[in-house]
Chains A and B, each alone.
Chain A
């Protein structure tokens, strides 16, 4: 029975050692030394068999109670030590820059185009597309541009070289328009024709895309730039509808404080034609009253006749503007060439 008297002091020592373990490995070792298969406490339990039948229940109870106590102490110490182990070896300085993952940026022209498209889609427009290499018919003739119009000049429009090396049709011949020369589209308006040729009215599309003009690159010109074209053809479409849509889109794009002004103008493929000026705090800050931003008008009946729409039944409007210009205004960019240099310090700002 003497060993029963050892329980209490042994437990006491075990508890002390468990609590003294300074790390998880030491704790496991201590655990082994006491309650492992060869542990001192385990050995004690093995002596239980030596007890008499009458003494056994009381002795068993005693040992079990002590064991539960030891295990509880072990679990609690283990938890303490686990927490301790999780604390980083070196202190964390949360002001240090973290290990970042790069996220790329969409080009500002893409972002602006997406915003414009989003604004138009809210009011039921679908995005359409067309070729950048065009013929004179779609770029000029079908848009009612006179055969001798300066826009067709090889000064202003890029023409493709032909296989036999012939240059652009010389201007002095009277048959300038007789050859349907191929060119880089000077405006997205050519897609109006492409779409109307294929699709019966009503039409409600926008066309973002690249266009080309033979301008030397400078702060406000690049031979390649982007436009977006809107075309809406339906029954009884009016100038009022044109105004309503344009105002909606520009408010979406430039903010609700924007003011829009329509000014009579001339384009060969719309009649009446207007230029659109806008103003807001930004424009005033530039010291201007108005800034020209887009051209528009009611589709010329001649254009409808050309694509086989009956102008007595259908009316419509079209409008177009430069995407770079919107982006430059929105972000305060002062040189159009920045868009095409792809300097990452530029791209990462948007």
Chain B
């Protein structure tokens, strides 16, 4: 909503500077989104009166004058001869510039200076200097100064004296949707009235009605009172459509509305002034009955009905849309836009003014379906004021008579089947203290509300009942009144109180910390944390097998599905990095994934890892410095994470086959049963598709499960008191024998005092036959209560060796 400083001042007195007004409006909840100063004609030129005129001490043709500029006296040196003390003249003040003459590049700016040794604080102007034709403005044409009318007001801006638009300030305000009443200049002025306590000046009427009656000119048939609770019509005959006067044109232009013609401009002006959208029809283009009287029909459009709006677009309507029609055709799309067929033209002589109230939701739907928005639809959809239809109509009639002439038919056709009863609300003064936290006197509370237009119905010591004005559709319960009191009192004046009260609890609180712990472990392991998009493309790899959660209204096919996995996002991030020459990337992400399970959407927290490029930071020496990530880097990270996070018994079972996503992978389970996640190497074909040249390693786990299954409890275990004995074993086993199998075999051997089994070498190649591999383990034996003898250890170790030979067919090497 745009409004100007001068326009506001027509309805309310206030002496704030433009900057202060910005601040005040903002603190009233009218956020100022823009302030634009508009310069007027003859800025810096005022009407001044010559008080004395004396000869210049150093020049015959110059005089030294004392001049009253309205604020005080100043000394002016002047070369003109045609004036005397008492004359009123235009005076340009230092710093201001004369109007640009054709051909001039820079304006002539007045400075304080000495003329022949005498200081001059400005310049009195001639009509040539002002580029004015004196006769055109009713003054005498003479050489020298332009002498103004005797009744000119000293100090008045000269532009204003001439009736030209003066400088102004345009404010662009953000009006919140709960306050449709603020989409009007009067509405905003009312807010200022409430803060300042100054009275609001609402324009009054003094209209000469003609001898003919509106009832003879038009009838209104309201067919859908739900969509149009009120419809009023007035008729003005004999107007002369033409350009608007300057004040009207410039007021509209300042707030960004193009001037069209006096009649149309008036409807726009009154809409901006009061918030009541209006429409003017060419009366003679409305179909008439046999007696020559037209009927306005307010009805729903027929499905598929065609209608050409003012912008010359033919629109196809639905039967949900409200149409203003005559007996034959539609003439306006109710509340949105008029029809081309009844538009006001230069030839129009008789005008019908519509001022109505349309139901907000319907206007919004119509406007949205047609993709057609107007100042009118904007106001109706936010909720106009059914109470001011007639006022708006009369105001428009008055201004049309003033600007376009004509005669107003006596009376109004006002169809308003069920006038809404005005709401009443009670305010308990103590309640506002309870909520706002500050005591505001009862009188002050009542005063704020009455200045906003609320009427006191009854007042008791502890409360007050108000009648709510029709334009305040937002005031629905007591708390809304308290808000108004707090707003006008000033939120800045409410003292802050330090936090107090009960401590919060929530089951999720500890989960938040546990998730944070997972993040810190992974960051500590050298992975950077990523955050991916939740919305990804259903064309991503691995997406097709999933029961994906699709969007009904995606922005694009790139973002049409809720991620069922964090991996597509991480792969994208790898690509983003590699394409920018960040070749070595180690990322993790913790986030939600979404799937459809048995028709129910399921949200789950996952944790995922992606690695590509070199495993270590750059270094300048060493044979392994360029080594790339491999599967065991991934496995090591995952193991360390799992251990640090407090999970035990996680097993990795290799997948026999490649999957769509993985070339080589293993399922992580809890004890071989509960699936926790998957780790592996990305299919090279996919890696290539994403321009990833180095091998890519991925892992993804169900974090919710990890959280449920972790046991982070720690307890102290006494340090060993007795020495341990170690036995190393190297053996050849078939390639298919896994480390896990070896461990299980050893475990089943139940060797006494076996403390740990550590793999320290895996070897293939020279001296190892094809299809076999050499595994070397260190077995550590230790008893809690004594030093083991060689015999003790050997006996236990024999059981292990036996099991390895028997069950794994291991060929033991020295």
Which stretch (B262-270, B442-450, B491-499, B729-737) binds chain A? B491-499
- What A residues does B603 contact at CB under 8 A? 131-133
Task: Check A271/B494 contact, CB under 8 A, given A103-B526, A172-B320, A224-B535.
Answer: no
Please determine whether B619 and A241 come into contact, CB atoms closer than 8 angstroms: no
Please determine whether B436 and A239 come into contact, CB atoms closer than 8 angstroms: yes
Task: Check A128/B582 contact, CB under 8 A, given A99-B619, A168-B553, A347-B530.
Answer: no
Please measure, in the bound complex, the distance between the C-alpha atom of A199 and the C-alpha atom of B505, giving whole angstroms.
Answer: 10
Please determine whether B497 and A243 come into contact, CB atoms closer than 8 angstroms: yes
Task: Check A107/B479 contact, CB under 8 A, given A148-B364, A160-B550, A315-B435.
Answer: no
Q: Given B494, B499, B576, which contacts A239 in the complex, CB threshold below 8 Å?
A: B494
Please determine whether A343 and B582 come into contact, CB atoms closer than 8 angstroms: yes
Please determine whether A205 and B506 come into contact, CB atoms closer than 8 angstroms: yes
Identify the closest chain B residue to A302 (Cβ): B477
Please measure, in the bound complex, the distance between the C-alpha atom of A124 and the C-alpha atom of B549, giving whole angstroms.
Answer: 37
Please determine whether B617 and A266 come into contact, CB atoms closer than 8 angstroms: no
Q: Which of A209-226 contact B (CB under 8 A)?
A: 210, 212, 214, 216, 222-224
Which stretch (B83-91, B517-525, B673-681) binds chain A? B517-525
Identify the closest chain A residue to B588 (Cβ): A104
Q: Which of B596-623 contact A (CB under 8 A)?
A: 599, 601, 603, 616-617, 619-620, 622
Q: Which of B513-569 contact A (CB under 8 A)?
A: 516, 519-520, 522-535, 549-555, 559, 562
- What B residues does A56 contact at CB under 8 A? none
- What B residues does A109 contact at CB under 8 A? 531
Please determine whether A110 and B529 come into contact, CB atoms closer than 8 angstroms: yes
Please measure, in the bound complex, the distance between the C-alpha atom of A96 and the C-alpha atom of B506, giving whole angstroms.
Answer: 52
B585 contacts partner chain A, Cβ-Cβ < 8 Å: yes
Please determine whether B365 and A172 come into contact, CB atoms closer than 8 angstroms: yes
Please determine whether A102 and B434 come into contact, CB atoms closer than 8 angstroms: no
Please determine whether B553 and A104 come into contact, CB atoms closer than 8 angstroms: no
B503 contacts partner chain A, Cβ-Cβ < 8 Å: yes
Please measure, in the bound complex, the distance between the C-alpha atom of A265 and the C-alpha atom of B178, giving whole angstroms.
Answer: 9
- What A residues does B534 contact at CB under 8 A? 132, 184, 210, 212, 224
Closest Cβ–Cβ distance, residue B579 to chain A (whole Å): 10
Please determine whether B576 and A341 come into contact, CB atoms closer than 8 angstroms: yes
Please measure, in the bound complex, the distance between the C-alpha atom of A96 and the C-alpha atom of B619, giving whole angstroms.
Answer: 10
B233 contacts partner chain A, Cβ-Cβ < 8 Å: no
- What A residues does B511 contact at CB under 8 A? 129
Please measure, in the bound complex, the distance between the C-alpha atom of A168 and the C-alpha atom of B552, giving whole angstroms.
Answer: 6
B500 contacts partner chain A, Cβ-Cβ < 8 Å: yes
Most A C-beta atoms less than 10 A away, residue of B502, B525, B554, B573: B502
Most B C-beta atoms less than 10 A away, residue of A99, A171, A342: A342
Contact with B along A153-193 (1 / 0, CB 8 A): 11000111111000110011010000000101000000000
- What A residues does B498 contact at CB under 8 A? 244, 248
Closest Cβ–Cβ distance, residue A17 to chain B (whole Å): 39
Please determine whether A343 and B580 come into contact, CB atoms closer than 8 angstroms: yes
A39 contacts partner chain B, Cβ-Cβ < 8 Å: no
A298 contacts partner chain B, Cβ-Cβ < 8 Å: yes
Please determine whether A102 and B526 come into contact, CB atoms closer than 8 angstroms: yes
Please measure, in the bound complex, the distance between the C-alpha atom of A248 and the C-alpha atom of B27, giving whole angstroms.
Answer: 22
Number of interface residues of A (CB under 8 A): 94
Most A C-beta atoms less than 10 A away, residue of B497, B535, B552: B552
Identify the closest chain A residue to B599 (Cβ): A163
Please determine whether B491 and A241 come into contact, CB atoms closer than 8 angstroms: no
Closest Cβ–Cβ distance, residue A202 to chain B (whole Å): 4
Q: Given B491, B508, B570, which contacts A129 in the complex, CB threshold below 8 Å?
A: B508
Task: Check A154/B494 contact, CB under 8 A, given A104-B526, A127-B506, A271-B483.
Answer: no
B504 contacts partner chain A, Cβ-Cβ < 8 Å: yes
Please determine whether A133 and B502 come into contact, CB atoms closer than 8 angstroms: no
A345 contacts partner chain B, Cβ-Cβ < 8 Å: yes
Closest Cβ–Cβ distance, residue B426 to chain A (whole Å): 14
Please determine whether A241 and B497 come into contact, CB atoms closer than 8 angstroms: yes
Number of interface residues of B (CB under 8 A): 95
Please determine whether A167 and B482 come into contact, CB atoms closer than 8 angstroms: no
Please measure, in the bound complex, the distance between the C-alpha atom of A160 and the C-alpha atom of B603, giving whole angstroms.
Answer: 14
Q: Given B365, B434, B530, B582, which contacts A238 in the complex, CB threshold below 8 Å?
A: B434
Please determine whether B318 and A158 come into contact, CB atoms closer than 8 angstroms: no
Most B C-beta atoms less than 10 A away, residue of A107, A273, A301: A107
A59 contacts partner chain B, Cβ-Cβ < 8 Å: no
- What B residues does A214 contact at CB under 8 A? 553, 555
Identify the closest chain B residue to A300 (Cβ): B479
Closest Cβ–Cβ distance, residue A129 to chain B (whole Å): 4
A80 contacts partner chain B, Cβ-Cβ < 8 Å: no
Please measure, in the bound complex, the distance between the C-alpha atom of A133 and the C-alpha atom of B435, giving whole angstroms.
Answer: 34
Please determine whether A160 and B502 come into contact, CB atoms closer than 8 angstroms: no
Please determine whether A237 and B501 come into contact, CB atoms closer than 8 angstroms: yes
Task: Check A266/B179 contact, CB under 8 A, given A117-B512, A160-B549.
Answer: yes
Please determine whether B492 and A161 come into contact, CB atoms closer than 8 angstroms: no
Please determine whether B479 and A224 come into contact, CB atoms closer than 8 angstroms: no
Q: Given A104, A126, A127, which contacts B523 in the complex, CB threshold below 8 Å?
A: A104
A263 contacts partner chain B, Cβ-Cβ < 8 Å: yes
Identify the closest chain B residue to A107 (Cβ): B529
Contact with A along B308-322 (1 / 0, CB 8 A): 000000000010100
- What B residues does A114 contact at CB under 8 A? 516
- What B residues does A239 contact at CB under 8 A? 435-438, 486, 491, 494
B253 contacts partner chain A, Cβ-Cβ < 8 Å: no
A91 contacts partner chain B, Cβ-Cβ < 8 Å: no
B324 contacts partner chain A, Cβ-Cβ < 8 Å: no
Closest Cβ–Cβ distance, residue A88 to chain B (whole Å): 13
Please determine whether B554 and A271 come into contact, CB atoms closer than 8 angstroms: no
Please determine whether B369 and A265 come into contact, CB atoms closer than 8 angstroms: no
Please determine whether B533 and A266 come into contact, CB atoms closer than 8 angstroms: no
Please measure, in the bound complex, the distance between the C-alpha atom of A105 and the C-alpha atom of B520, giving whole angstroms.
Answer: 9
Please measure, in the bound complex, the distance between the C-alpha atom of A129 and the C-alpha atom of B573, giving whole angstroms.
Answer: 27
Please determine whether B617 and A101 come into contact, CB atoms closer than 8 angstroms: yes
B664 contacts partner chain A, Cβ-Cβ < 8 Å: no
Please measure, in the bound complex, the distance between the C-alpha atom of A52 and the C-alpha atom of B512, giving whole angstroms.
Answer: 90
Please determine whether A343 and B601 come into contact, CB atoms closer than 8 angstroms: no
Q: Given A100, A162, A300, which contacts B617 in the complex, CB threshold below 8 Å?
A: A100
A281 contacts partner chain B, Cβ-Cβ < 8 Å: no
- What B residues does A262 contact at CB under 8 A? 491-492
Please measure, in the bound complex, the distance between the C-alpha atom of A266 and the C-alpha atom of B582, giving whole angstroms.
Answer: 46
- What A residues does B592 contact at CB under 8 A? 132, 210
Please determine whether A240 and B512 come into contact, CB atoms closer than 8 angstroms: no
- What B residues does A96 contact at CB under 8 A? 620
Please determine whether A205 and B504 come into contact, CB atoms closer than 8 angstroms: yes
Please determine whether B528 and A347 come into contact, CB atoms closer than 8 angstroms: yes
Please measure, in the bound complex, the distance between the C-alpha atom of A234 and the C-alpha atom of B585, giving whole angstroms.
Answer: 48
Closest Cβ–Cβ distance, residue B488 to chain A (whole Å): 9
- What B residues does A128 contact at CB under 8 A? 506, 508-509
Please determine whether B364 and A340 come into contact, CB atoms closer than 8 angstroms: no
Please measure, in the bound complex, the distance between the C-alpha atom of A182 and the C-alpha atom of B550, giving whole angstroms.
Answer: 11
B660 contacts partner chain A, Cβ-Cβ < 8 Å: no
Please determine whether B529 and A106 come into contact, CB atoms closer than 8 angstroms: yes
- What A residues does B437 contact at CB under 8 A? 238-241
Please determine whether A234 and B501 come into contact, CB atoms closer than 8 angstroms: yes
Contact with A along B340-382 (1 / 0, CB 8 A): 0000000000000000000011001100110000000000000
Closest Cβ–Cβ distance, residue B85 to chain A (whole Å): 49
Can you name 21 A-B pairs with beta carbons within 8 Å? A99-B617, A99-B622, A102-B526, A102-B616, A103-B524, A104-B528, A104-B588, A114-B516, A123-B499, A128-B506, A158-B535, A171-B369, A172-B365, A203-B504, A214-B555, A241-B500, A248-B498, A275-B31, A340-B533, A341-B573, A342-B528
Binding site for B on A (CB under 8 A): 96-97, 99-107, 109-110, 114, 117, 123-129, 131-133, 148, 150, 153-154, 158-163, 167-168, 171-172, 174, 182, 184, 195, 199, 202-205, 210, 212, 214, 216, 222-224, 232, 234, 236-241, 243-245, 247-248, 261-266, 268, 271-275, 298, 300-302, 315, 339-345, 347-348
Listed from nearest, the 8 A-B pairs whose CB atoms lie closest are A238-B437, A204-B504, A264-B29, A240-B437, A102-B526, A266-B176, A272-B483, A342-B573
Additional pairs, 7, CB under 8 Å, beyond known A104-B523, A240-B436 = A104-B526, A129-B512, A168-B552, A223-B535, A223-B555, A240-B437, A263-B31
